[in-house]
């Protein structure tokens, strides 16, 4: 999914903020901004990444404990929004999946003539493009 790819690309940004620089005073603000700027599709992945980094920071020793606690607190706060975001994604995904299932049902090899197949192909491409645009805007 395009959203997951965007969330995974932000791993390097989060690593730089938390591990490489490790500024305990600035990190909570940057982490909160990291979650607030997430799209609906990226939110859960970013939250999971944040949980993983909090665990890594906590395991790395007492010198990063304050940073680990700050990151864990931000992750726990935004964790309360996980379920509503997942519900919103599912609600938006259902009509798109229904359109896609209906499209697949219509795609049959009824007409065997070249021009009829070419015309149906054009219609199918436009239909798939419309479904794809709906998916990306969701």
pLDDT in tens, the chain (138 residues): 445 556 667 778 787 777 766 566 777 888 888 888 888 888 888 899 889 888 888 888 777 788 888 888 999 999 999 999 999 888 888 887 887 777 666 555 555 666 776 777 787 778 777 777 766 665
d(CA 1, CA 25): 34
d(CA 68, CA 43): 20
pLDDT of residue 4: 56
| Overall size of the chain counted in residues | 138
pLDDT of residue 114: 67
d(CA 112, CA 115): 9
pLDDT of residue 80: 94
Helix (H, G, I), strand (E, B) or coil at 22: coil
Answering whether pTM is above 0.95, one says no
- Burial classification of residue 113, based on how many CB atoms lie within 10 Å of its CB (0-12 exposed, 13-18 middle, 19 or more buried): exposed
């Amino acid at each position: 999914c395009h959203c997951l790819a965007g969330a995974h690309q932000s791993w390097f940004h989060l690593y730089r903020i938390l591990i490489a620089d490790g500024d305990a005073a600035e990190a909570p603000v940057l982490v909160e901004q990291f979650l607030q700027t997430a799209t609906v599709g990226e939110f859960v992945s970013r939250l999971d990444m944040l949980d993983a980094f909090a665990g890594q920071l906590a395991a790395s020793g007492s010198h990063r404990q304050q940073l680990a606690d700050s990151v864990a607190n931000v992750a726990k706060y935004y964790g309360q929004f996980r379920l509503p975001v997942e519900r919103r994604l599912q609600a938006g995904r259902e009509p798109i999946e229904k359109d896609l299932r209906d499209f697949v049902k219509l795609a049959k090899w009824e007409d065997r003539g070249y021009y009829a197949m070419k015309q149906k192909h054009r219609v199918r491409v436009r239909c798939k493009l419309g479904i794809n645009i709906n998916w990306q805007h969701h």
